[in-house]
Amino acid sequence: MALISGEEYKKRQCKIKHNVYIHGKKVENPEDNPVTKSVLEATALMFDLALDSRYEYPMVTTSHLTGDRINRNLHVNRNNDDLMGRADMALLAGQKLGTCNYRCVGCDVINALASVTWEMDRTEGTDYHQRFSEFLKKAQANDWACSGALTDAKGDRSLKVGQGDPDMYLHMVEKKSDGIVVKGAKFHQSGAIAADWTMVMPGQGLREGNEDYALAFAVPNSEEGLIYITQYNPMSVEREYTKDIYELGNPIYGQRETCIIVFDDVFIPWENVFMCGEVKYAGLAVTRFAKTHRMNCGGACKVGFADVIIGAATLAAEYQGTDRAPHIMTMITDMIRDSKQAHACAIAAAVKGFEEPPGSGVWMPDDLFGNVAKLTIAPGFWEIMSFAGDIAGGFVTTMPSFEDLRNPATKDYLEKYLKVKVPAEKRMRITKVLQNWAAGLHGAGTWHGAGSVQTQMISLMRVADIDEKKKIAMEVAGIEEEE
């Protein structure tokens, strides 16, 4: 049971009473709408890859709790090899999906909570780690797809948590003998509409007085009071209107789909609550989440995306007969450099990771390299897409529809004038792949995913040990240490 197929996962999803809205309409089942279906299909692939012997590594590993073979998306990293496996899974997912592994954020929340609940129990005498481990055993046994929820609505950013409307940050509105009731909204929730459970934790550090906001818990999809409002944009419209999805830039798995999850007085039983009021651990949980997530988001999954773009740009150049031109070759090599620089940082983050806190048995990637991975890929990904746009030519934004290639009134013209070294249709297909990236949502998505760039700069300055560098410079300059 610990490893189920994509089909079994989809059947399970169909039994859930979904509370999902898209473009003003309710979607009772993700399969009913072409946009939400792409989330279901992308998530299903992460189950199927684990059953494919070619991808046993990195997709499958052994549970430290039960000894069972489990999907790596539910694994707590126990050593540096596990961290490498986690990064390799993100890379593979990026290459295979060309969009998010929607189990990724949940996986990194699981690791943050494994570490922080252990620490809370040791220092505060709580029993969160025991509860969390029991939950995780069930998640692993059932192969649950877990999304991860950190980002609050926040509202006016100049106000602190608790100032203004309290609901701008998810918080507890009632503490009962059997659990808690929570209210608020989490934004930008990757793939949450088709998850089995969502792992929730704070999105920022908290201070004394914010106890009601210091919450971590697990909640099943479409629990009473949960409302999912999905993103909607020109690419959603395109998917809804296109007769043949194989004419889209990423036919089956689509773009990165997120939603707002509204928590309208949702009850969470104590057995699924893993933090409740311990403000000083909120920031620790966020920092530890960011360590794994920036390694994966910055230096692994985007590298998989880049492989798709580099491949498509090279094909476009070959089709158009420009592939041997020196400036095109320079752009292709620059795209490889951009992506591999970030990849090297993810590998370094995994190799230099360590147990945190000591004794917990949970391994976290190196913070400095994780942050540098994200800081490298944020501008690097824009650059990769700009090169792809250059190589594909203006056609990447001006190409007509496949319908015009079928329409007898325009077909012959397009077949004649769009022909390059390959027929018009083939050229249009590869251009559509590039359009999905270069004229799509991925630049801004990559910039903000795993935290906007400023947060990585702050983290970097915290861990970069500038004082040590000043000492090194003073020694070289022969300046005596000041009193």
Ligand X SMILES: Cc1cc2nc3c(=O)[nH]c(=O)nc-3n(C[C@H](O)[C@H](O)[C@H](O)COP(=O)(O)OP(=O)(O)OC[C@H]3O[C@@H](n4cnc5c(N)ncnc54)[C@H](O)[C@@H]3O)c2cc1C
Q: Do 118 and 362 meet the contact criterion of CB atoms below 8 Å apart?
A: yes
Is residue 10 a contact point for ligand X (CB under 6 A)? no
Is residue 440 a contact point for ligand X (CB under 6 A)? no
24 CB-side CA count, 13 A: 1
Q: Do 293 and 199 meet the contact criterion of CB atoms below 8 Å apart?
A: no
Q: Do 72 and 61 meet the contact criterion of CB atoms below 8 Å apart?
A: yes
Is residue 207 a contact point for ligand X (CB under 6 A)? no
List CB contacts of 447: < 8 A, sequence separation 6 or more: 378, 381, 382, 453
Binding residue for ligand X (CB under 6 A) from 37, 72, 129, 188? 188
Is residue 429 a contact point for ligand X (CB under 6 A)? no
**Alpha-carbon span 92 to 54, nearest angstrom:** 11
Binding residue for ligand X (CB under 6 A) from 35, 150, 161, 308? 150
Binding residue for ligand X (CB under 6 A) from 118, 161, 445, 456? 445
Binding residue for ligand X (CB under 6 A) from 63, 71, 73, 151? 151
Is residue 202 a contact point for ligand X (CB under 6 A)? no
**Nearest distance, CB of residue 256 and ligand X, angstroms:** 5
Is residue 389 a contact point for ligand X (CB under 6 A)? no
Binding residue for ligand X (CB under 6 A) from 26, 406, 411, 448? 448
Binding residue for ligand X (CB under 6 A) from 39, 90, 145, 149? 149
**Nearest distance, CB of residue 308 and ligand X, angstroms:** 16
Q: Which is nearer to ligand X, 151 or 250 (CB)?
A: 151
**Nearest distance, CB of residue 371 and ligand X, angstroms:** 14
Binding residue for ligand X (CB under 6 A) from 23, 78, 137, 154? 154
Stretch that binds ligand X, among 145-153, 233-241, 389-397, 472-480 (CB under 6 A): 145-153
Dihedral, CA of residue 123, residue 128, residue 132 and residue 135, to nearest 10: 160
Please give the size of the binding site for ligand X, defined by CB under 6 A: 19
Is residue 73 a contact point for ligand X (CB under 6 A)? no
Q: Which is nearer to ligand X, 230 or 258 (CB)?
A: 258
Is residue 449 a contact point for ligand X (CB under 6 A)? yes
Is residue 160 a contact point for ligand X (CB under 6 A)? no
Is residue 204 a contact point for ligand X (CB under 6 A)? no
Residue 149: C-alpha distances to residues 97, 290, 410 (Å): 21, 13, 48
Residue 9: C-alpha distances to residues 16, 43, 138, 194, 313 (Å): 11, 9, 15, 10, 34
Q: Which is nearer to ligand X, 14 or 153 (CB)?
A: 153
Q: Which is nearer to ligand X, 160 or 175 (CB)?
A: 160
Structure tokens at 448: 């903000």
**Nearest distance, CB of residue 327 and ligand X, angstroms:** 32
Is residue 184 a contact point for ligand X (CB under 6 A)? no
**Nearest distance, CB of residue 71 and ligand X, angstroms:** 18
- 3-state SS of 159-208 is CCCCCCCHHHCCEEEEECCCEEEEEEEECCCCCHHHCCEEEECCCCCCCC
Is residue 25 a contact point for ligand X (CB under 6 A)? no
Q: Which is nearer to ligand X, 123 or 163 (CB)?
A: 163
Binding residue for ligand X (CB under 6 A) from 96, 256, 294, 432? 256
Is residue 226 a contact point for ligand X (CB under 6 A)? no
Is residue 435 a contact point for ligand X (CB under 6 A)? no
**Nearest distance, CB of residue 176 and ligand X, angstroms:** 26
Is residue 94 a contact point for ligand X (CB under 6 A)? no
Stretch that binds ligand X, among 150-158, 170-178, 277-285, 376-384 (CB under 6 A): 150-158
Stretch that binds ligand X, among 246-254, 276-284, 383-391, 446-454 (CB under 6 A): 446-454
Is residue 17 a contact point for ligand X (CB under 6 A)? no
Stretch that binds ligand X, among 77-85, 187-195, 319-327, 355-363 (CB under 6 A): 187-195
Is residue 406 a contact point for ligand X (CB under 6 A)? no
Binding residue for ligand X (CB under 6 A) from 62, 233, 407, 452? 452
Is residue 258 a contact point for ligand X (CB under 6 A)? yes
Binding site for ligand X (CB under 6 A): 105, 148-151, 154, 157, 186, 188-190, 256, 258, 445, 448-449, 451-452, 454
